[in-house]
Chain A
Amino acid sequence: MSRLAVWRRPSPLPGFGLAMGVTLAYLALVVLIPLSALVIRASGLGAAKIAAIALDARVLAALRVTFGVAFAAAAIDVLFGLLIAWVLTRYRFPGRRFFDALVDLPFALPTAVAGISLATLYAPNGVFGAALARIGVRVAFTPWGILVALIFVGLPFVVRTVQPIIEELERELEEASATLGASRLQTLRRVALPQIAPALLTGMALAFARGVGEYGSVIFIAGNIAYVSEIAPLLIIVKLEEYDYDGATAIAAIMLAVSFAMLFVINATQSWSRRRLGLV
Chain B
Amino acid sequence: MSDAALPRRAAGRVADETPLAKTLAIAVSLVFLGVFFLAPLVVVIAEALAKGLAGFVDAILEPDALAAIALTFTIAAIVVPLNAAFGLAAAWAIAKFDFAGKNLLTTLIDLPFSVSPVVSGLVFVLLFGAQGWFGDWLAAHHIKIVFAMPGIALATLFVTFPFVARELIPLMQSQGTAEEEAALTLGASGWKTFLTVTLPNVKWALLTGVLLCNARAMGEFGAVSVVSGHIRGVTNTIPLQVEILYNEYSIAAAFSLASLLALLALVTLGVKYAVEARAGARAG
A positions within 8 Å CB-CB of B: 7-9, 11-16, 18-20, 22-23, 26-27, 30-35, 37-38, 41, 80, 83-84, 86-88, 91, 93, 95, 99, 101-121, 127-128, 148, 151-152, 155, 171, 174-175, 177-179, 184, 187, 209, 212-216, 220, 233-234, 236-237, 240, 243, 245, 248-249, 252, 255-256, 259-260, 262-263, 267
Contacts and interface: CB of A to CB of B under 8 A. Distances in A.
Interface in B65-108: 82, 85-86, 89-90, 92-93, 96-101, 105, 107-108
Nearest to A80: B32
Contacts of B110: 263
Contact of A252 (B119, B194, B239): B119
Contact of A249 (B17, B126, B193, B220): B126
Given A34-B158, A245-B126, A252-B122, 11 more contacts: A7-B99, A22-B85, A27-B108, A31-B108, A32-B108, A104-B273, A119-B246, A128-B39, A184-B18, A255-B116, A263-B110
Interface of B: 13-18, 21-22, 25-26, 28-30, 32-33, 35-41, 43-44, 47, 82, 85-86, 89-90, 92-93, 96-101, 105, 107-112, 114-119, 122-127, 129, 131-133, 154, 157-158, 161, 177, 180-181, 184, 189-191, 193-194, 212, 215, 218-222, 225-226, 239-240, 242-243, 246, 251, 254-255, 258, 261-262, 264-266, 268-270, 272-273
30 contacts: A13-B184, A16-B93, A19-B90, A19-B93, A33-B127, A80-B32, A86-B25, A87-B29, A91-B22, A105-B265, A108-B215, A108-B264, A108-B269, A110-B215, A110-B258, A112-B240, A113-B44, A113-B239, A120-B251, A128-B39, A152-B40, A155-B36, A171-B13, A184-B16, A213-B222, A216-B117, A216-B225, A233-B119, A255-B116, A263-B111
- Determine chain A's interface SS by DSSP, over half rule: helix
A113 B262 contact: yes
A81 to B, nearest CB: 10
A108 B258 contact: no
Nearest to B220: A110
B258 A112 contact: yes
Contacts of B264: 108
Contacts of B261: 109-110, 112-113
A58 to B, nearest CB: 16
B14 A178 contact: yes
